[in-house]
Amino acid sequence: MRRKLVRGSDVIVASENKAKLKGLAAIMNGQLEPVNNMPKFKEMFGSVDLKILLVATDMYPAALIHVDHGVIKVSAVSQEDCKNWKKTGAQGLLQCTTAQLLAIYMGSLNPKSAWLKRQIKIRGPVNVQKFYSMIDAIKPRKEQRVRPIN
């Protein structure tokens, strides 16, 4: 927690309830925190209450993402707690490498096909799909690519 000296008294700059996040939790917090200021997201997902555990096998601590009626909260989960993911309160689990997770987030890897090819591990696929559709809804759109027909 940073403190700033103003006229001889300590003033807290950072909020006390926000712990410093590390690993994947810090990355996901940085990516998803601006979503809380989007009225479109609150409007679309105001009735959703969902917890998803994102585990990057090569980067711990993992990220527990809680979508609480249009507000996203990210917290860190230790490697030991990831082994029994239901005890974290998560309704879904997405486990893969950091590169695969970023590819899913950027849209270059389809999680359904990667799951069917057993490249990634998903538990609670319906809830993970809800989370993926939320992320897909808030991503800025580029030009639509036309796929060639084989």
Q: What digits encode the pLDDT tens for the residues 36-83? A: 888 888 888 889 899 999 999 998 899 999 999 889 999 999 988 888
| pLDDT 10s digits, 70-93 | 899 999 999 888 888 889 999 999
Range 18-51 burial, b when 16+ CB lie within 10 A, else e: eeebebbbbbbbeebeebeeeeebeeebeeeebb
The pLDDT of 3-16, averaged and rounded, is 39
Which two three-digit tokens encode residue 144?
């639509």
Contact 122, 111 (CB under 8 A): yes
Res. 138 pLDDT band, cuts 50 70 90: confident
Architecture of domain 15-136: 2-Layer Sandwich (3.30)
Length of the chain equals 150
State the Cα–Cα distance between residues 76 and 64, nearest whole angstrom: 6
State the Cα–Cα distance between residues 65 and 73, nearest whole angstrom: 6
State the Cα–Cα distance between residues 105 and 84, nearest whole angstrom: 24
State the Cα–Cα distance between residues 91 and 100, nearest whole angstrom: 21
Strand 49-56 to 71-77 pairing? unpaired
Res. 150 pLDDT band, cuts 50 70 90: low
Tell me, what's the pLDDT at 120? 94
| Strand partners for 92 | 52
Give the angle subtended at the CA of 67 by the CAs of 62 and 70, to the nearest 5°.
150
